[in-house]
Structure 1
Amino acid sequence: MKRKVQISFQTMTYLEGQPPDSFSFVTEGDYYIKNNASYLRFKEAHTHGQDVYSTMKWDGEELMLIRQGGIIMRQSFAPKQETFGRYVTPEASWETKAITETLIVQLPKANKSKGKIYVRYHFFLQGQATGEHEIRLTIERKEE
């Protein structure tokens, strides 16, 4: 059963010698459980006019980020592990790598209406370091 949720999304990028870069938005999405995995699906808010839909799949050990639309991306995150993925735009396709430092996933349950996802990782695009990144989501079930 899908439940409507409100999501506060924030990313931070840290590059050596530069101030942190941040991006945030609030949106509505769906939260559901299927085949022993939890899913969070929402539309990203971008300023460049391309719709991008994100799905986060949590299986209890690994968080998979799937982005579809103007950008296509698949990247998994697992604590203290190196994981590989792909980032695709209309112009090019790149191999990605994440080295996850911290992964915290606390999803809404029947007895609590709030949850959060926190990921801190080093990211590489086609072998080139793009800095240290954080993703922070706050999830709140909406009353139906």
Structure 2
Amino acid sequence: MKNVMVRIEGSQRGVDGEENTMEFITEGKQYIKNGAMYLVYKESEISGMEGSTTTLKLQEDEVKMKRFGTTSSDMVFKVKERYTTKYNTPYGDFKMEIYTKKIDRQIDEDQKGNIYVEYMMSIQGLMESTNKLNISIM
């Protein structure tokens, strides 16, 4: 397991066209297990999930994101596939559906680089958005 710096950039555009963006840099841990790369970092107040820890599991054709803490969720991103899960928040549990449009992964031999995920998300019919997530491992 090695220490890395992680930059997370995200944007979310609702059906009304309003776009929200966020960016933060944090320390994280990175390791390889059974051929998959794992990245673990703590969320911040900027992401709106302070008190939660995120674990990314990067495999050849999919990205799995697991969050636990003040908010928790288990999301799977695989191009042109739909994934349904539960989003647990301090305000209650919500059904969440994800449809992944694009994954671009550019990781070098030193395990540095970028992971880009573009996906549609619907939370229990209350909110629908197009999301872009860019994670840089430095």
Under a length normalisation based on structure 2, what TM-score does the superposition of the two structures give? 0.89
Provide the rounded CA distance (Å) in 2 between the counterparts of 1:90 and 1:132. Answer: 24
**CA pair 19-95 structure 1, distance change in 2 beyond 3 A:** closer
Aligned to 1:74: 74
When structure 1 is superposed on structure 2, of 65-74 and 14-23 the one drifting more is: 14-23
Question: Which segments of 5 or more consecutive residues in structure 1 lack a partner in the other structure?
Answer: none
1:43, distance to aligned residue in structure 2 (A): 0.7
- How many residues were matched structurally? 137
1:92, distance to aligned residue in structure 2 (A): 1.2
% identical equivalent positions: 26
Q: Could you list the per-position Cα deviations for residues 72-96 of structure 1 after superposition, in whole angstroms to 9, with x for gaps in the alignment? A: 0111000111112221013311121
Aligned pairs for 1:24-103 (under 5 A) are 24-47=23-46, 50-103=50-103
The answer to whether the Cα contact below 8 Å between 2:43 and 2:50 also exists between their aligned partners in 1 is no
Under a length normalisation based on structure 1, what TM-score does the superposition of the two structures give? 0.86
When structure 1 is superposed on structure 2, of 131-140 and 50-59 the one drifting more is: 50-59
1:129, distance to aligned residue in structure 2 (A): 4.5
Question: Which segments of 5 or more consecutive residues in structure 2 lack a partner in the other structure?
Answer: none
**CA pair 139-125 structure 1, distance change in 2 beyond 3 A:** same
Aligned to 2:117: 119
1:49, distance to aligned residue in structure 2 (A): 7.9
Provide the rounded CA distance (Å) in 2 between the counterparts of 1:102 and 1:9. Answer: 17
Provide the rounded CA distance (Å) in 1 between the counterparts of 2:103 and 2:109. Answer: 19
Provide the rounded CA distance (Å) in 1 between the counterparts of 2:99 and 2:71. Answer: 21
